[in-house]
Amino acid sequence: PPGLYIVATPIGNLSDLSPRAASVLAEADLIAVEDSRVTAKLLAHIGVKRPMTAYHDHVAEHVRPQLIAQMADRAIALVSDAGTPLISDPGYKLVRDARAAGIDVTTIPGPSAAVAALTLAGLPTDRFLFLGFLPPKAGARKAAILEVAQVRATLILYESGPRLGATLSALCDMLGDREAAVVREITKRFEETVTGSLEGLAERYRESPPKGEIVIVVAPPGAPEAAGEEQIDEALRQAMARLS
């Protein structure tokens, strides 16, 4: 049926493309893509050829209305190079305007590096805040971190290898030395999760910037520590004192 289909694609391992995602792509009249070479590879993997058109929220002021006009009687799929469209990727304006135009918008959910990294970090998952990419300039980056310093949630950030060390240092400076995880190359051959304190991780990666794609996960402030024997003894002593 006509409409806009938001289709999540793999973040590394092509087998993570869901059967429903594959069939929506195979039947789409047009696929709006970030990079047609990347999507062509995915389509080749499932043995499909479909027409593609480039889409970016910022260059698309004139492309968007044309695309939306076509959705009235054509099925148009939106994909990004990897993972879930709209998550640090183009698409929210397309969804907004399609919805306003009365177009059916539906999603074929699937992988996203942010949630995948959260499941690997071993940090609290009940509340989390996704920050995407921090600003590249040091001042703006510090301000962005300071803004969330009091938030009682696990933080999730995207980062590149060359900037990882500097970003971990900035996080340590502004948030204190919290527990964190650096999750790399999820679902790929060199998938790796390194946990430690922000300071320890910053030191490690400043010296040797890692290759590949990276997610940083940072513990919430003052995550309650498991009660040690000393605290339990003290609580017992106090309870006994109250009883006598």
Binding site for ligand SAM (CB under 6 A): 11-12, 80, 82-84, 87-89, 112-114, 158-160, 183-188, 213-215
15 burial level (CB within 10 Å; 0-12, 13-18, 19+): exposed
Nearer to ligand SAM (CB atom), residue 6 or residue 113: 113
Instruction: Provide the token pair at 152.
Output: 């009682």
Nearer to ligand SAM (CB atom), residue 105 or residue 115: 115
Structure letter (DSSP) for residue 85:
T
Q: Give the start-end residues of each E strand in the chain.
A: 3-7, 30-33, 52-54, 75-78, 105-108, 128-133, 154-160, 179-184, 192-197, 213-218
| Residue 159: strand pairing partners | 214
Nearer to ligand SAM (CB atom), residue 92 or residue 235: 92
Shortest spacing between CB 150 and ligand SAM, in angstroms: 25
Instruction: Provide the token pair at 210.
Output: 């890692």
Residue nearest to ligand SAM (CB): 83
Shortest spacing between CB 129 and ligand SAM, in angstroms: 16
Shortest spacing between CB 240 and ligand SAM, in angstroms: 52
Nearer to ligand SAM (CB atom), residue 66 or residue 119: 119
Shortest spacing between CB 189 and ligand SAM, in angstroms: 11
Is the CB of residue 158 less than 8 Å from the CB of residue 215?
yes
Is the CB of residue 9 less than 8 Å from the CB of residue 21?
yes
Nearer to ligand SAM (CB atom), residue 9 or residue 175: 9
Residue of 94, 71, 79 lying closest to 17 (CA atoms)? 79
Hey, CA dihedral for 70, 60, 22, 111, is it positive or negative?
Answer: negative
Shortest spacing between CB 45 and ligand SAM, in angstroms: 16
Q: How many helices and strands, by DSSP H and E, does the chain display?
A: 9, 10
Shortest spacing between CB 235 and ligand SAM, in angstroms: 42
Nearer to ligand SAM (CB atom), residue 122 or residue 176: 122
